[in-house]
Amino acid sequence: ILNVEQSPQSLHVQEGDSTNFTCSFPSSNFYALHWYRWETAKSPEALFVMTLNGDEKKKGRISATLNTKEGYSYLYIKGSQPEDSATYLCAFNNQGGKLIFGQGTELSVKP
Amino acid sequence: DTAVSQTPKYLVTQMGNDKSIKCEQNLGHDTMYWYKQDSKKFLKIMFSYNNKELIINETVPNRFSPKSPDKAHLNLHINSLELGDSAVYFCASSPTSGGTGELFFGEGSRLTVL
């Protein structure tokens, strides 16, 4: 059974704080790691797809790193804003073409 | 224009009925998926089609049957609905079938079985 675990499950920060959360996945047969942002009442939207060990990707104030040897990825948000409030999902692909999603980290940013 | 659209968004029905959820994407993608959001809010893959051919078929009851009339459409038909089928079902599409392309999700269809 392939498990993708995200921590923490929820996070409450103040506007302006920087924050990060973790996605852990099996380190064998790695193919790709995805991050999605899921706002309430909307559908998940892709942030990053990473395929290489050591990959670092950035989109505005959000960035992600990837360590395939130890099986983890970090998502960082610099200077959190209330509009960053959402659930952040990671998903792991082990070459089967099948994305296994974690349960998500629910981020709440208070003004 | 919505890239991936699902209909209906809400569906309330009785146990034992048969219902369908339709999905259409206008992104020109070859690969489409059905995901089920379970009670713990996990997104779990049910089916994947690449250019109208079934490529992923998870352990899903036979009552669930996907149909892809063309690569822009992937419909989900459910026979003999049970209480446990109540969930939100998400359709998604991707430019690749191998998992390196990002998924584009529809807004979800909330199915309630009474």
pLDDT tens for each residue of A63-101: 999 999 999 999 999 999 999 999 999 999 987 778 899
Task: Quickly state the pLDDT bin for A1 (edges 50, 70, 90).
Answer: low
Q: In this predicted structure, what is the pLDDT of residue B45?
A: 92
Inter-chain residue contact B99 with A103, CB threshold 8 Å:
no
* Residues making up chain B, counted from first to last: 114
User: Cβ contacts of residue B108 below 8 Å, gap of 6+?
Assistant: A43, B6, B9, B37, B88, B89, B90
| Residues facing A46 on adjacent strands | A36
Mean pLDDT (whole number) for A27-53: 93
**E strands, A8-98, in order:** 10-14, 19-24, 32-38, 45-50, 56-59, 62-67, 72-77, 86-93
Share above pLDDT 90 across residues of chain A, in percent, rounded to a whole number: 85
Q: In this predicted structure, what is the pLDDT of residue B38?
A: 85
Q: In this predicted structure, what is the pLDDT of residue A22?
A: 98
A residues 73..102 contacting B (CB < 8 A): 89, 91, 93, 95-101
- At B87, list the tokens: 């969930």
Q: Does A40 touch chain B (CB under 8 A)?
A: no
- Decide: B48 and A98 in contact? Cβ < 8 Å: yes
Inter-chain residue contact B105 with A43, CB threshold 8 Å:
yes
Q: In this predicted structure, what is the pLDDT of residue B52?
A: 84
Q: What is the pLDDT of residues B41-95, one digit of tens each?
A: 889 999 999 888 888 888 789 999 999 999 999 999 999 999 999 999 999 999 9
Nearest by CB to B41, from A32, A98, A103: name it: A103
Task: Quickly state the pLDDT bin for B99 (edges 50, 70, 90).
Answer: confident
